[in-house]
Each structure stands twice: as C-alpha cells, then as structure tokens.
Structure 1
C-alpha cells in the first residue's frame, strides 16, 4: 500500500501524493501542521498531481486546510475522482481549484 505524503516543493508550493482517504487523512492532518503557516502572508498552492486516490474524507481534509490557511490557498492538478466528489457535493465555489 502506498503512503500518503505532503511535502514542501518550494516557496508557496506543497505537493500531496499517494492515496488521500479515510485511512490516510489523520496522518496527513498531523503532517500538515506548520506547513500551511510557513509561508506567512503569501498565497499557497498544493499540487494534487501525485494523488492516486481520493475519497470524501480527502475532500473534507482539503476543505479543512482551506479554512485554516492564513492566506489564499488553491489546489492544482486535481484528480478526476476528486472533481466528481466536488461537483456532486456542490463545492466548486468553495474549493479553489486551479
């Protein structure tokens, strides 16, 4: 089973990889502490291109990050599975997808 990770890719940029689901969300939430605040007032983008699976728990995690980020937050390269959940739940105006 692949491990989910969130890593810093550079100033204002994080990368999320692996499965983002009920099993991995608690660990990702712990691992993300401090990463969202690290860039101060600058906007932050999280690249989702390495996400292999995302369920509704993963979408809830993204909503939590967006709510708690001190500056603008957007998500790049969202997987199709995530877009389907976002569309079904009517979240396209809430989640900032790039």
Structure 2
C-alpha cells in the first residue's frame, strides 16, 4: 500500500465510511502472480499481473534516456501502472454485485 493509499484509508476510517468498497488490500489479494519483460536494448519494462481468476492486466514503463534506465525502478513503475488498472475492473464488479443485490 502506498503512502497515498494509506492516507486515504485513514481518512475513510476517520469519517466512518463503511459501505461496501474496494481496499488496497483487496486489490493486492486478487493478484496471483506477476511476470516482467524487458526487451533487450530498450528501457521498456512490461509487467503482467495474473489475477486469481486467470485474467491479466499489463503495465509499462520506459526511461526517456537509456542512460537513466534502472531495471528495479522500471519494474516498480510498470507494476504500479498494471495494479492501477485492477481498481477499475474490481470497481465495476463490485458495482454490478451491488446492483444485483449480491453484496
């Protein structure tokens, strides 16, 4: 969980907002595995997050200058970008469940 996510979670708790919602922990819990790829000779890093239901999301990062490329930083940013996509997918799923009365 990032510092921003922790601050938002604290604010939600402080305000007593208890309706069904997504949490950073939920987002992390749906991730089953992760795969990274860095095409040779590039600063491009691709992260594939495999979710527990088998669906995949991808995130990318690339340094503008190859001289600034750091594999660990590239992986971190690519993973953040992939993880961010899960929020929309899980948000839709939760909203559908609420609509159907299943939550």
- TM interval, shorter chain, is under 0.3
TM-score (norm 2): 0.25
TM-score (norm 1): 0.26
Structure with bigger strand share is 1
Give the number of the structure whose alpha-carbon radius of gyration is greater.
2
